[in-house]
Chain A
C-alpha cells in the first residue's frame, strides 16, 4: 500500500480541495471543497448536469481536475491511474454497467482479482461462490453476466469492486435501475458494507432514498457545492429539495417538485376532483399481444392495454421486461405473433410505421441520440423527417420552406439554438428532446408514446416535457409514458400499468400505492431469474 504516513484513521476518506473540472468551455465542477469522514455513507445529490457523476469520477481518480486536488485517505492518486486508485482502496461502480456480458461471474472476479497460474472453471466457481457467500452477496458464480437480471448485474459490479478490498466504494446512481424492493436490498447490502468499515459514496436522485440510507448529504448544483456534507439526521425534505432545485423551485407545482426530487411518499397531482375527464374514444387498444423474442427484447407474452383519448397512461416496470418490445410492436417495427393493436380506432397488423403515423401515432423513442435524432444532421432535417415519411420519395421537399417551418416550430417550443442548420448533436439533452417534441407533439397527434422522455434531463427540461404531455392530453390526445422513474409516473399519469416479464400484470389508479406497484414489478420477474440461476 502506497500510503501517506500521516494518513491514519483520522484522514478523511475523501478530501476535495478546490476541485475544478472543465470539459472544453463547460465547467462541470467549480471549486468544490469538501471533506468526507471515513466509515460513513455519504450521499451526493443534485439535478442532472449538476456535476454528480463528474464528482464521483474525480473521487475515483478517473478524471484529472483542472485545478485543486482530491486526496483519498490522505493520498494523492494520479488521475487516470486505475491500478493506483485501486491500491489506494477506491472503486467506482458506473451508472451503466461495464462487465463483459459473455463472462461468468466467477470469471469476472477471477479477472479483476489476484491471478496466479492455471485454474479450472470448476475451481474458480467454487472459490468465488464461497467468497460471495462470505461477503453476503447472493449471486450464482457460474451464471453469465448477460443472463443476469439488472439487479444481479449490479450486485456483480459491487462484488467486482469488493474483490480488491475497497475501502471507499462509489456507486453512481445505483437506484436508477432498480425496482423499489431491489432498492431496499441494495441499501441493506450497503449498510452491511458500512459495518465492515467501508466508506460508501452514493450518487442519488431522490431525497427519499437519501434520508433512508445516508449519514451525510452533499448537494451540487450547476457544478458548485451548495451544501454539505451535512448530517441527514433531522433534515427537512422540503429544504433539501429547495437546495437541489435552486431558484426555479418557486415556479414549480408542489407535486411536480416532489416528483422531481423524490421528496417523500409519492403523491398524485391530479388525484381527486382536479383530474380531467378522460375521453370516450380510445387512442390505443392492445389486446392479448404476443411478440417473439427479437432485436427489441425478450418479447411479449400477453399484454392488454388501453389508452383513452385525453388520458395519460404510464408503463411501470423494471427495464428489460418488454417495454421496448411493446413500443416497437405498436410502431410496427416488430411483427406481432398474436393479438391485436388498434390505434385511434384503426386496426393495424403488418402496416408499417408511416401508415400508423398517418393515423396519429407519434413516438418519442427510448434512445434520444440514436432512435430520436441523427446527431450529425441539421436540426431542420431532423425535424422534417416526420413531414416526409408519409409521402412519395420523389415528392418535392423544398429545403427553404421546411427550414422555415422547422424554425417556426422550434420557436414555439422555446428551443435554444443558433440556426436550423446546426447539427442536432450540438444541442444539450433538454434542447435535443425539445426538437423531438416539436416534431412529435403536433395537433394531429392522437396517440403519443413517450419512452423515457425525461431521462438525463435537468429540472427545467423535465418540467417542460411534462407540460408538453399534459397539454397534449388537454387537446384530446392519448399519451403512453414508459418510465423507470415511479415518481414521474405517479405525478403525471392518470393510470399506471405494470409490465413484468412481457406481461401486463396490473393496472393501478391514484392514489398510487408504491408498495403494491413495487410488488407487481418484481412478482412476475422472479420466475425468469430462477430459470437463469
Chain B
C-alpha cells in the first residue's frame, strides 16, 4: 500500500521532470534563456518573500478539487466537470452569503460552505444519473456542464447578484460581508488549511479504509466483475460523482469566502481542468495528490510573479502546465514501462 503511494509520488516527479526538460527546449527555441526562465519559475514559486503563503493560496483549493476528481476517476468515471462543479459551488455559496449578510460568521461561514458543497454535488448528480440510468457518456455531459455553469455564472453576476457599482469588463457580485471572509485577498489562513487537511483525510479514508474504496477501485477497472460479486455499481458510481462534485463545490465556496471575496464572471477558468491534470499526475493516489497539487499551486503562484518581478512572460507557466498535461496523456505505455523496469532492477 505504502509502496504503491510512494511509487505514485515518484512517477509524478518523473513526469514533471520530463515535462520541464521539454519546456527548456521550447524556451530556448523562442530565444529565452532556458536556465533564467526556469530560475525565475523556481524563484517565483519558492524563494520570493512569503512564497509559502502564495503556494498555499493557489494550491489548497486545487488540492480540495483534485481529491474529489481522484475519487471519481478511481471508480472509473471520467468526470471532467470539476470546473462547472467548482463554479456551481461558488454560486451557491454566493447566494447563501448574500442571504446571510450581517449574521455571525460562526453561522454564515459553515452554511455558505454547505451551500457550496450542495451546489457542486448537484452539478455532479445529473451527469451521474444520466450515466447510470441512460448510459450517457459522462465525459460529454460533464464537459457540457462546465459550459452551462460558466454561463450561469455570467448570468448571476450580471443579474441577481450584480454589483451595481461595478464598472470593470468582468461583471461581479457585491463583495462578501467582510466579517465572513476566511482569508485575505492574497493569502491563505488556518481555516482553509484545516478544511483542506480534513478533505485530504476524508479522501484518504474513503479510498483506503472503506468498502467503498476497495469496491470502487475494482469497479473502476472491471465493473462486470464487481456486478458478479453483487455490489451495487450504480450506487458506487453516484456516490463517487457526489463526493467529487461536493469537494469541487467546497473549493468554490472557499475561493468565494477566501481570496476572491466576491463572485466574478470567468474567475479561475482553469481551476477544474488543472485539478484533472493533478489527479492524473498523482496516479489517482490521494497522498500523491497533496504533493502534486502544491506543485501546481507553486506554478500558479509563479505565473503571477514572472512578468512582474523577472520580466518574463507568464505564458511560460502555461507551457509548463501544458507539457505536463501532454505527458500524462502519453504516460501509459512508455513511462509505465520505464518505471516498471526500474522497479524490477531495484528489486533484483
Contact = CB atoms under 8 A, between A and B. Distances in A.
Interface stretch (A96-104, A191-199, A348-356, A408-416): A348-356
A395 B222 contact: no
B165 to A, nearest CB: 47
B231 interface: yes
Nearest to A388: B211
A339 B84 CA distance: 48
A382 B225 CA distance: 9
B324 interface: no
Contacts of A365: 228
A385 B210 contact: no
Contacts of B227: 333, 353, 371
Contacts of B214: 381, 384-385, 388, 397, 399, 402
Q: Which has the most chain A C-beta neighbours within 10 Å: B214, B217, B231, B239?
A: B214
A356 B230 CA distance: 9
Interface string B20-39: 00000000000000000000
B228 A393 contact: no
Interface stretch (A81-89, A130-138, A372-380): A372-380
A421 interface: yes
Interface string B280-304: 0000000000000000000000000
Q: Which has the most chain A C-beta neighbours within 10 Å: B208, B228, B236, B239?
A: B228
A389 B213 CA distance: 12
B337 interface: no
Interface string A130-151: 0000000000000000000000
B228 A389 contact: no
A119 B230 CA distance: 52
Chain B contact surface mostly: helix
Interface string A351-372: 0111111000001010100111
Q: Which has the most chain A C-beta neighbours within 10 Å: B218, B230, B232?
A: B230
Contact of B222 (A375, A392, A396, A400): A375
A375 B225 CA distance: 10
Contacts of B226: 374, 385
Contacts of A402: 214
B215 interface: yes
B221 A377 contact: yes
Interface string B220-251: 01101111111110011001000000000000
A398 interface: yes
Given A384-B214, A388-B214, A398 B228 contact: no
Contacts of A384: 214
B211 A395 contact: yes
A331 interface: yes
A363 B224 CA distance: 14
Contacts of B333: none
Range for the number of chain A residues in contact with chain B: 35 or more
A385 B225 contact: yes
B1 interface: yes
A394 B212 contact: yes
A382 B228 CA distance: 12
A372 B232 CA distance: 16
Q: Which has the most chain B C-beta neighbours within 10 Å: A332, A333, A385, A397?
A: A385
B344 to A, nearest CB: 12
A357 B239 CA distance: 23
Nearest to B227: A333
A382 B218 contact: yes
Nearest to B1: A399
A385 B217 CA distance: 10
Contacts of B4: 421
A391 B218 contact: no
A353 B213 contact: no
A387 to B, nearest CB: 9
B232 A397 contact: no
A385 B224 CA distance: 12
Given A352-B230, A357-B230, A381-B218, A374 B211 contact: no
Contact of A370 (B208, B225, B232): B225
Nearest to A358: B230
A393 B236 contact: yes
Given A374-B222, A377-B221, A385-B218, A397 B211 contact: yes
A52 B53 CA distance: 67
Given A331-B228, A363-B228, A389-B231, A374 B210 contact: no
B341 interface: no
A377 B218 contact: yes
Given A374-B221, A374-B225, A354 B211 contact: no
Contact of B211 (A382, A393, A421): A393
A382 B224 CA distance: 12
B226 to A, nearest CB: 6
Q: Which has the most chain A C-beta neighbours within 10 Å: B229, B231, B235?
A: B229
Contacts of A375: 221-222
B217 A381 contact: yes
B343 interface: no
Contacts of B222: 370, 373-377
Given A372-B225, A389-B231, A399 B215 contact: no
A384 B225 CA distance: 12
Interface string B175-214: 0000000000000000000000000000000001111111
Contacts of B232: 352, 354
A42 to B, nearest CB: 40
Contacts of A332: 230
Nearest to A367: B224
B221 A393 contact: no
B218 A399 contact: no
A397 B213 contact: yes
B93 to A, nearest CB: 26
A106 B236 CA distance: 47
Contacts of A370: 222, 224-225
Interface string B86-125: 0000000000000000000000000000000000000000
Contacts of A356: 230
Nearest to B216: A393
A408 to B, nearest CB: 18
A254 interface: no
A533 interface: no
Contacts of A386: 229
Nearest to A327: B228
Contacts of A357: 230
A384 B210 CA distance: 12
Q: Which has the most chain B C-beta neighbours within 10 Å: A333, A356, A388?
A: A388
A356 B4 CA distance: 35
Contacts of B224: 367, 370-371
B212 A393 contact: yes
Nearest to A365: B228
Nearest to B211: A388
B228 A397 contact: no
A385 B225 CA distance: 9
What are the 7 tightest A-B residue pairs by CB atom distance, in nearest-first order? Answer: A353-B230, A374-B222, A354-B230, A388-B211, A393-B212, A371-B228, A385-B229
10 contacts: A333-B228, A354-B232, A374-B225, A376-B221, A377-B221, A385-B226, A394-B211, A396-B211, A397-B211, A402-B214
Given A389-B229, A402-B214, 7 more contacts: A355-B230, A365-B228, A374-B225, A391-B211, A394-B211, A394-B212, A396-B211
Interface of B: 1, 4, 208-215, 217-218, 221-222, 224-232, 235-236, 239
